[in-house]
Amino acid sequence: MAGQHQKNEPPKELFVSHERKENTTEMITKPSRSFFQDARRTFFKNKMAVVSIILMIIIILMSIIGPYFNEYGMDGQDLSRAKMPPRVPVAENIPFLGMDGTLQDEFKGSTVEEATENAVMRYDNAEDFVDIEVLSEGDGSTDSAEVSATYNIYEAKEMTDDYFWLGTDQLGRDQWTRIWLGTRVSLIIAFVAAAIDLLIGVAYGGISGYYGGRVDDVLQRIIEILSGIPNLVVIFLLLIVLQPGIMSIVLALTITGWTGMARIVRGEVLKQKNEEYVLAARTLGQTNGKIIRKHLMPNIAGIIIINTMFTIPSAIFFEAFLSFIGLGIVPPEASLGALIDAGFKVFRLYPYLVFYPAVLISIIMIAFNLIGDGLRDAFDPRMHK
Amino acid sequence: MLRYILRRIFYMIITLFIIATVTFFLMKLLPGSPLSAENKLSESQREVVLEKYGLNDPIPVQYVNYMTGLVRGDLGISFHFDNTPVTDILINRMPPSMVLGGQALIFGTIAGILFGLIAAIYHNGWLDYTSTVIAVLGTSIPSFVFAGLLQWYLANEWGLFPVALWGTYAHTVLPTIALAIFPMATAARFTRTEMLEVLGSDYITTARAKGVTESGIIFKHGLRNSLIPLVTVMGPMAVSLMTGTLVIEKIFAVPGIGEQFVSSIEVLDYPTIMGTTLLFSVLFIVILLVIDILYGLIDPRIRLTGGGR
């Protein structure tokens, strides 16, 4: 037994003494990532959200500097250059872009002559600058003949050196300038409304949830009554009484808008404040203020950010909606909703007036919703488990 | 449950009372009177008219009269629109809005559930992506942009439907589609998420193991359970339908409540504006109440905690 044991024993020279390294365990693990770093990684993996962020940065930049790209002001009314179609240098040579500064439409009449006459009449009687292309000869009966007329309005008005990139509206104001100023107004309203909702909602919900008891009871009853009033109704009533403008829209949107945020924050605080880490902090003698700032806030920040990101598009929509039905921004001020409203009135004749603001507001809404979705996925704790 | 409903109705009455009171005093604050356009009236005639409509009474008396009138369904008399009682105007304007709202809600929800269902069944397939894209577009793009597109292509360019106005059934098609987009997108998104969650749960695996057919799993076990929470998004849907009717009826010139409201704003006809606002409030609050009660009936947890919404 003893001999066998000795035989199996490895030679001593093979043994290398093991040095204890205190730090190896820490060195081989990956650096630990905080919740926010994790969320950021998840968010930036979401391609749609990243594209949306880039788009929004461009749109926000343009809303700041866009109006100064040309010499036309927001208010520069000049009826002699009213309703000019879009015309962009370089792009004017590419016909299908529709930016060559011509108006084009089809006209009907019982004969080709009559149809042509209709076309010329629509286009300021500037016969020399209307190109007619016969689509169908017609047989003399009503509306059987059809011509396609192209009106070179820039030549007719001797404005060949002018370029209105997105055209002009009924009063000759440059649409490019007005669109970016309108975007600016829409975005300001949305950001300010979201910020106010955030401040009031977090403070109110935080106090209500953290202190609980009678304070919570009273604050919750107030919310219950306030949120029972449909916010649409509050918005209508306020806007009918107040002067239309940015501030009244922001006030109308926020006066009941913060209750949603307050409820969410309260619920989350109620949940978090009974967690063990808060109890531990309290046992260690942390003050209330420090517990709220250092322990609760980081843990409910995600849900606050998500909620704010969804407030912004809904504020943009509401502003546009209100301006569209005549309760929001009124001309000469511009907002995307007001521009769409104005464009709708001449929709069939000058579709470009409604097209660009409508596309822009749609892009903004889609981008914000996608960013919100991305943030929700990133901050949703369930996704990280 | 009964206690919960009673409590909700109690809050509802308080809310309506507050809204009516605020509305009344706002109307008193606003400049102009029903007679400001009638310059031809002499002082004594004016006096007679004011007396007739009780506008000479002290404000508290007027307030009591207004509130008792409201209880009886009397909303006052329109400044414009031929001095018709506001209640009559609203009753006349009701049917088109009801038709549009009802159709949009029914078609939108059914189409949305179908889209969501398809997306969930073909999870991560192209059908899923298409339906997700439709849902994102539908919740993002404002209804008036959609309405404009529909009007331009389906009515103006291709002439499939009437451009605007009201009359035949064809007139209701475009406004209904425009209104239905948001409920559809919301329902599609919601059904998809819920359905995916349900399909991943243990009892579905059990059902599969026991040999339940795929259609049985999807419709009997999956869809039924994923539709219950859909009730929660009915509130936002109702809100969107109401904001929707305002713009859609304006765009398609439908003689409904929404169009009435927008044109009242344009001429500043305060009694009609206030009456419509009150009507909206009542509709809103009642719909939200019904949804909450419905949800309480379906989901016992809400009942026990006395409502967490």
Judged by CB atoms closer than 8 Å, whether chains meet at B261 and A325 is answered as: yes
A6, part of any domain? no
* Residue pLDDT, tens place only, B148-183: 888 877 777 676 677 767 777 767 778 888 888 888
Task: Tell the residue number behind the tokens 């339906």, with chain if given.
Answer: B131
Residues A329, A242 share a domain: yes
The contacts of residue B126 (CB under 8 Å, 6+ apart) are none
A111 found inside a domain? yes
Residues A371 and A248 reside in one and the same domain: yes
Question: Computed over its alpha carbons, how large is the radius of gyration of chain B?
Answer: 24
Average pLDDT, chain B: 78
- Mean pLDDT is highest, among A24-28, A107-111, A305-309, for A305-309
How many domains are contained in chain A?
2
Return the pLDDT at A194: 92
Least CB–CB distance from B14: residue in A225, A232, A313? A225
Better-scored residue on pLDDT, B82 or A361 = A361
A vs B, Cβ pairs < 8 A, gives 99
> Are residues A196 and A107 part of one domain?
no
Q: Which residue has the higher pLDDT, A20 or B22?
A: B22
pLDDT, average across residues A353-360: 86
Residues in chain B closer than 8 A to A224 (CB atoms):
11
Residues A135 and A203 in one domain: no
Cis peptide before B183 (omega within 30 of 0): no
Which residues in chain B are contacts of A236 at CB distance < 8 A? 273, 277, 280
| Chain B residues touching residue A369 (CB < 8 angstroms) | 136, 139-140
Chain A environment of B142 (Cβ under 8 Å): 317, 320-321, 361-362, 365
The rounded distance, in Å, linking the Cα atoms of A228 and A235 is 14
Domains, chain B, with CATH or none: 90-259 (1.10.3720.10)
Q: Of the candidates A225, A228, A361, which has its C-beta nearest B142's C-beta?
A: A361
Query: Lowest mean pLDDT: which of A13-27, B17-31, B83-97, B222-236?
Result: A13-27
A212 with A118, same domain: the answer is no
Judged on CB neighbours under 10 Å (0-12, 13-18, 19+), A283 is exposed
How would you classify the pairing of strands A103-109 and A130-136? unpaired
Most confident of A153-167, A181-195, B212-226: A181-195
CATH number at residue A210: 1.10.3720.10
A116 lies in the same domain as A187: no
CB distance B142–A229 less than 8 Å?
no
Residue A379 and residue A305 in contact, taking contact as beta carbons nearer than 8 Å = yes
Q: Alpha helix (H) ranges present in A212-245?
A: 213-228, 231-241
Half-sphere exposure of B248 (CA within 13 A, CB side): 30
* pLDDT score of A1: 46
Q: Given CB atoms, is B161 within the 8 Å cutoff of chain A?
A: no
State the burial class of residue A305 (Cβ atoms within 10 Å of its Cβ: 0-12, 13-18, 19+). middle
pLDDT digits (tens, 9 = 90+) for A258-290: 888 888 888 888 888 888 888 888 888 888 888
H or E element that contains A106: strand A103-109
Mean pLDDT computed over A84-103: 66
Selecting from A229, A347, A370 the residue whose C-beta is nearest the C-beta of B148 gives: A347
Evaluated on CA atoms B263, B266, B270, B274, the torsion sign reads: positive
Report the interhelical angle of B234-251 vs A231-241 (nearest 10°): 40
Q: Do B246 and A321 touch (CB under 8 A)?
A: yes
Does residue A334 come out as left (phi exceeding 0), alpha (psi in the -120 to 50 range) or beta?
A: beta
**Under a CB-based contact definition with an 8 Å cutoff, are residues A191 and A255 in contact?**
no
* Rg of chain A on CA atoms, in Å: 32
Structural domain of A214: 175-383
Give me the residue from A228, A354, A369 closest to B140, CB to CB: A369
Tell me how far apart the alpha carbons of residues A207 and A15 are, in angstroms, rounded to a whole number. 65
Interface test with B, best of A143, A256, A325 (most B CBs within 10 A): A325
Q: Tell whether pTM > 0.90.
A: no
Contact A232 B23 (CB under 8 A): no
- State the complex-level ipTM: 0.76
Residue B13 contacts A where some CB pair is shorter than 8 Å:
no
| Cβ pair B263, A230 in contact under 8 A | no
Question: Crossing angle of helices B2-29/A231-241, nearest 10°?
Answer: 10
Domain termination site, one of A123, A156, A189: A156
